[in-house]
A and B are shown apart, each in its own frame.
Chain A
């Protein structure tokens, strides 16, 4: 009996001794940088992902709020969720729009740094290596430009983060621009002239951006020659005949576009936060169509329809902006909508020509009896803005910026739009 017991005991202890090795972790569904970024196709995935951070700024409320409002041309409308940012009212570093962009831009920088420093291990051919390195350098310059223009001389590094780093540095603005020029010169030399991957950066796009950087830094002669190099480089760019046509959904990928942030019609290829992409944006895809639209759908004889958009009524133009366009400027009509026709609950404009709402920069006061379908509401410049000071009086009804609208969204409340964000056109 005792023998049996001893045998059993030793059997168990043997089992546990062999178990020791089992404490090593097995993680087949996880991926590590060492495994992925050391093959050409794996490294391609790094480069592709590096483009993804542009979507945090372009087509997103955070980006519009930081780059458009708080200027003399755009201000808060009633639905603005970050008036602190738009009006500099109690603006703190805790502002979530600033925090999210700060996080996304530096995550992009870290990935670009990692790529640029690891590319020699990717196993690329010489030609492809230059192309990919140029793409990463363009993106790094692009992200650093956003950082330095938004926050000034903040943290700067060209190294990948490895291990726990708990400090940041302050770096002169000059250092940022030195790197931006260096990277863009590399990019505008080594990138391919064209690409079949719409949204991937090309040589003329890098050159155009470099021209803009020269202009920003007051290097006007260099800017001039670089811009001319793009215009005369035989890259095949053509302007749209009508200004407003550039923003039609049908012209999303027109010949006028040098560089765009691409959003796909297949929304799963975009950036909405989900179980499979927890780092995504809570709204996803292009949301520009939501923010600039006036509150039209609660007006008499009006309903929310896809064509007019889902009015978040976040931002409105200042009177100064509206007055920058001369009375005959086609760009005003190409950019702003003043007239809303009546529509029905089932969607669609019920009677084109049956005006329901007018929000205009002019002094138009309405034509009594001139509207056979009934009366319409008019908001003219003095209803919207204080006649003397130009200060905003009405934050709900104003001329609507239409260039971001997407009437091809399948339902009127769909927040995600496939509209590409044109960065250089």
Chain B
């Protein structure tokens, strides 16, 4: 065909003089199928002229240009091809799947594989997606984009972390967090890794993918690969953003008049108040005066202000054929919405790869991060509880510590000069060096030595008149310093061999990880000068206490893997790994974790050769065993703990048994996962999808089993019990519109997981004390079922339950005419796990503009947010929320019981039932608009994009009760969640 093509070019040259307003006809053929390709964009380079091919792949295009013209053919996934045409002859062009998605290399455990050859369930996220949402933590940027990964921000404080679980919770006692691997080095989190320096993040979900990590594979693996340098000209990128954040949604509390009304009602209930004339019986003199002046404080408003975020990042990539390097310098700063809540993070990344000769290569990757953090002791809990009547300053302009003459210190007390400081400094180094040898053809030996070294300290000072200390005596200063060192040494040998249609890759590896950590903690009370903060503990006269500790654990592992492919169509992966963990009991330290996976590339079969619909189709099946040893180090040993004790004023040493007893038989927790997956691409991969169905059965749970207290001890880690997680995941990507100037792409993810306890200590028996129920998820709400409030008309019925109208009415489950904790509580319908969650991301780009809208949905989880129970029935110590629609004889509410000056919330029967609510929500997680400057003439600036980005701007909740609450929190209220608008610039030099 090439010859024909050359010939036609020659012929065309001969005729080119004849061409005036000429028409060029031709056809585009897809290389693998030999069929015509539809919708290929054809244009004449340097002009606006363009067309698309028809269903048989044919096109025609007209031009007035004489002489040779350059035709440009482009199609998504096939790249661009330019063909020079001299005459009017028919052009035949063959397009080949460019280094298409399928040939993309995906990082898997201890190696890489082409996406087409994957047998496991792996999701790969590239840098562009991570950078699309500006965030401190890279995982926050990809929330909802990975099917099966449930990512939630823990709270809105500047230093807050994220929680992530992959495919639900399997373990009750041994932890459910995934393992992170950064450039081959294990780490416990990736907060410190600056998002700009990440090349890709891979999520390994099924056993075929994770079994190679054996002992830590059960909860999924997240592999982060940082950027490498590239040969050629030096590339410099600069990116920067700055943004303003605000509280996204926050529940309000009663204002002054609202509080006065509820307190009057509470006293009316007990006959102490009938009219305003009785106010003096229930309010103190100061309060009466404040009521008269309508003087009250909105503490939320006084405490919360706008937050600021900014990030600056410079990346330099350079190199020659043999030496490649990447440097990145990053600064992230955030000032939270509360005073004293802020963070500054500086990080420096250096990655160097050096090729010495044809068989030796070495390099290192490193990142140093240093953080300055300040943590605010949450004042909002107090701000929401304190009686709102009061003033900030007295007549002399002095700050009033106890507003309204009340008993509670002002929520603003910590903000007064020299009262409060809680600051952390930490530095961490994550670095690894590797040496790669290729002594024989097909054989690679790589040794990778990594370390994660950290030191951190937190110093805290709280004066007497602060929120934490006002119920104690004197100031408290403390200093907590810790050192940690984690090393990870992997040796991996890989051997590739192709024999005709058979292709093998054999991997053998050994791995050793070791963690040591120690810390020292000191505190003292009552220091003379508050200005010394936590830098003069020696000057604290009272209650001095010191402690230090040490922890070490290690794991030794050996593993092997065979990847076999027959004709590129039939794929097999066999893995086995043996791990020995120090923290498990002697004799149970070792376990082996085998897995097997097969995949069939159906689209490569002959019977799918002559069609245009299915461009990719692969079926994957896997089964494997992974482990979890996540009990604390020394968890198998019985230990003693110190009991502080004095006779008279003299300190005496006391040592008693710890409540957790050692178990010399504790062994591995095992998860067996089956996974069926189907990957397909339609219409030349304009639509690609992956569907996975899985079933994980976890046995030998390392359960913190409760022992009868009569033994004098309380818990023991024992291998008992089983859980099951099964579900399905779908991710879909499509290119909805693709023209020369307009592109619209969508990505949809959907995950459903059912989590349940299969058995506990005794088959079929629930553990009510711990709240564990067979057939239910690990964490459920077990309580009475609230029906409403006893109404006036039901007074006679209420009496039978020793209740009166205005009290909480719960269901008498066993119908015996009395309510008791054993027979009338049950696992409430909703569970606090979502029925499903997912995301829909739409990106539209038109010329230089790009618009991204990302919607995230989490549906079906029940939550118990504390503000729904913020109700002081007595209203004498605390304020209540505005949501509290309390019952009165005139207001037949079914939401909240009647205020009552004689009964506190904690002595109200069934008070715990008030807060349960459906926490389902949908939110526009991200909305961004950007503009990329086209055809930059400057030699200096290669590309330039500016954008504005909004996160969490719009949220809908299913329950109207949550209209003032950010449901992502799932219950808490300290450090409210934020909505943020940022402006950013990305510059390439």
Residues in chain A near residue B521, CB distance under 8 A: 275-276
Q: Which residues of A contact B (CB under 8 A)?
A: 1-2, 4-5, 8-9, 12-13, 16, 19-20, 22-33, 36-37, 41-42, 44-46, 48-52, 76, 78-83, 89-90, 92-94, 99, 102-103, 106-111, 113-114, 154-155, 157, 161, 164-168, 195-200, 253, 262-271, 274-280, 295, 297-304, 310, 345, 377, 394-396, 409-411, 413-416
Cross-interface CB contact of A266 among B471, B551, B646, cutoff 8 Å: B646
A30-B634, A49-B654, A299-B284 given; A20·B464 CB < 8 A: no
Cross-interface CB contact of B644 among A16, A30, A102, A270, cutoff 8 Å: A270
**Which 8 residue pairs across A and B have the least CB separation, nearest first?**
A110-B712, A197-B647, A49-B654, A264-B646, A410-B473, A155-B710, A269-B646, A198-B648
Q: In the assembly, what is the distance between CA of A8 and CA of B906, in Å?
A: 68
A168-B710, A265-B649 given; A31·B655 CB < 8 A: yes
Q: In the assembly, what is the distance between CA of A5 and CA of B280, in Å?
A: 92
B653 and A44 contacting across the interface, CB-CB below 8 Å: yes
Residues in chain B near residue A413, CB distance under 8 A: 407, 470-472
Write 13 A-B pairs (CB below 8 A) sorted by A numbering: A5-B437, A8-B445, A25-B633, A27-B552, A45-B655, A49-B655, A90-B820, A106-B710, A107-B657, A110-B713, A155-B710, A268-B544, A298-B284
Residues in chain A near residue B407, CB distance under 8 A: 297, 304, 310, 413
B876 and A92 contacting across the interface, CB-CB below 8 Å: no
Smallest CB separation, B437 vs chain A (Å): 7
**What mask results when residues 628 to 644 of chain B are scored 1 for a CB within 8 Å of chain A, else 0?**
00000110011111111
A49-B643, A110-B711, A262-B648 given; A29·B656 CB < 8 A: no
Interface size, chain B (Cβ < 8 Å): 97
Residues in chain A near residue B582, CB distance under 8 A: 22-25
Smallest CB separation, A41 vs chain B (Å): 8
Residues in chain B near residue A76, CB distance under 8 A: 907
A48 and B645 contacting across the interface, CB-CB below 8 Å: yes
Smallest CB separation, B560 vs chain A (Å): 14
**What mask results when residues 257 to 300 of chain B are scored 1 for a CB within 8 Å of chain A, else 0?**
00000000000000000000000110111000000000000000
Q: In the assembly, what is the distance between CA of A352 and CA of B439, in Å?
A: 97
Is B909 part of the binding interface, using a Cβ–Cβ cutoff of 8 Å?
Answer: yes
B656 and A81 contacting across the interface, CB-CB below 8 Å: no
Residues in chain A near residue B682, CB distance under 8 A: none
Q: In the assembly, what is the distance between CA of A165 and CA of B793, in Å?
A: 53
Residues in chain B near residue A4, CB distance under 8 A: 439
A32 and B637 contacting across the interface, CB-CB below 8 Å: yes
Residues in chain A near residue B583, CB distance under 8 A: 25
Cross-interface CB contact of B405 among A49, A269, A303, cutoff 8 Å: A303
B556 and A19 contacting across the interface, CB-CB below 8 Å: yes
Residue of B nearest to A412 (CB): B407
Pick out which of these stretches binds chain A: B33-41, B329-337, B896-904: B896-904
Q: In the assembly, what is the distance between CA of A367 and CA of B545, in Å?
A: 55
Is B926 part of the binding interface, using a Cβ–Cβ cutoff of 8 Å?
Answer: no
Q: In the assembly, what is the distance between CA of A49 and CA of B284, in Å?
A: 47
Residues in chain B near residue A79, CB distance under 8 A: 904
B714 and A103 contacting across the interface, CB-CB below 8 Å: yes
B644 and A269 contacting across the interface, CB-CB below 8 Å: yes
Q: Which residues of B contact A (CB under 8 A)?
A: 280-281, 283-285, 359, 402, 405, 407, 437, 439-440, 445, 447, 464, 470-474, 491, 493, 510, 512, 514, 521, 542-545, 547-554, 556, 558, 580-583, 589, 633-634, 637-659, 661, 663, 707-714, 716, 718, 761, 802, 819-822, 874, 876, 901-904, 906-907, 909
B472 and A295 contacting across the interface, CB-CB below 8 Å: no
Residues in chain A near residue B637, CB distance under 8 A: 25, 27, 30, 32
Residues in chain B near residue A107, CB distance under 8 A: 656-657, 659, 709, 712-713
Smallest CB separation, B360 vs chain A (Å): 10
Q: A25-B552, A49-B655, A154-B710 are in contact. List 6 more A-B contacts (CB 8 A).
A: A25-B634, A30-B634, A37-B655, A103-B714, A110-B657, A266-B646
Residue of A nearest to B663 (CB): A164
Q: In the assembly, what is the distance between CA of A316 and CA of B281, in Å?
A: 20
Residue of B nearest to A374 (CB): B285
Residue of B nearest to A375 (CB): B280
Residue of A nearest to B542 (CB): A266
B711 and A106 contacting across the interface, CB-CB below 8 Å: yes
Cross-interface CB contact of A83 among B634, B642, B711, B907, cutoff 8 Å: B907
Residues in chain B near residue A106, CB distance under 8 A: 709-712
A200 and B647 contacting across the interface, CB-CB below 8 Å: yes
A111-B657, A300-B284 given; A16·B512 CB < 8 A: yes
A302 and B556 contacting across the interface, CB-CB below 8 Å: no
Kindly name the residue among A280, A297, A413 whose own CB sees the greatest number of chain B CB atoms within 10 A.
A413
Residues in chain B near residue A24, CB distance under 8 A: 582
Q: In the assembly, what is the distance between CA of A414 and CA of B471, in Å?
A: 5
Kindly name the residue among A2, A12, A49, A271 whose own CB sees the greatest number of chain B CB atoms within 10 A.
A49
A42 and B655 contacting across the interface, CB-CB below 8 Å: yes
Cross-interface CB contact of B904 among A8, A78, A277, A280, cutoff 8 Å: A78
Q: In the assembly, what is the distance between CA of A49 and CA of B493, in Å?
A: 56
Cross-interface CB contact of B902 among A20, A78, A297, A410, cutoff 8 Å: A78
Residues in chain B near residue A264, CB distance under 8 A: 646, 648-649, 651
